[in-house]
Structure 1
Amino acid sequence: MHSIRQLHRSFVSTATMSSKKQGNRKKSSGKSNPSEENKTPTVSAISVNKSGEIVLRIHAKPGSKQNGITDISTDAIGVQIAAPPIDGEANTELVKYISKVLQLRKSDLSLDRGSKSREKVLLVAKDSITIDRTTQLIKTECENG
């Protein structure tokens, strides 16, 4: 004979499995919208946000021998940083280096996201530089790197 506990476990696991199966079904209206399926977000390493600030997506490489921009892709700007990733030293050095490259004050840059990640987002203060000039200076630094 089964104990009440065994019957309860069996009932609960069966009920859980059937509810998961029902939850995974997609309700379809029968109409497909090809414009929604083909939409891929276009992300650029250098862009402007709604506030007018320039957004720099950075892939940081801390602990390098010297600072430098290694590559520019559509996803991020590769930046090697000559500081260890300890106690925010690499973040401070990153802001200092990018401000030097863009010929801006450090106060014109701020770390928006990624303080503990290699993927970072820097914001350049509105009206401090144009996006074209930013792109030009970063490409020049990458080529001369």
Structure 2
Amino acid sequence: MGWYYLDRDHNLILKLYIQPGARQTEAIGVHGEELKIKLAAPPVDGKANCALAEFLAKRFNVPLKRITLKRGAQSRHKTVEIYQPINGPEVLLSEIRTK
């Protein structure tokens, strides 16, 4: 299994590795079985989780209420569910800069 899958209701489940406190928010690439995302927000008072939800809502073209943090509220390893996303997971990979 990779870093994403669709559940039986066709909701997108993402397995993410988060690096808070970065200069800018961006998807970096696949990190083992997770997609690595750098967040500009600090890991304080849920700010990084809020920034992640906003980043994903914008990329998948859904309102914030359709983004659910299923696992990892206090961890760098997170599982996120996106209810009926407009875009597929490739939208995150399309932003990754080639080095």
- TM-score normalised by structure 1 residue count: 0.62
Which is bigger in relative contact order (C-alpha 8 A, separation at least 6)?
A: 2
Structure 2: stretches of 5+ with no match in the other structure: none
Structure 1: stretches of 5+ with no match in the other structure: 1-42
Q: Select the residue among 26, 36, 51 that pairs with 1:93.
A: 51
Q: Where do 4+ consecutive residues of structure 1 move more than 4 Å?
A: none
| Higher share in helix | 1
Question: Aligned ranges for residues 24-103 of structure 1 at < 5 Å?
Answer: 43-73=1-31, 75-103=33-61
State, as a whole percentage, how many aligned pairs show the same letter: 22
Aligned length: 98
Q: Is the 8 A contact 2:27 2:92 kept in 1?
A: yes
CA drift of 1:55 comes to 0.3
- TM-score normalised by structure 2 residue count: 0.88
Query: Between Structure 1 and Structure 2, whose CA radius of gyration is higher?
Result: 1
| Higher share in strand | 2
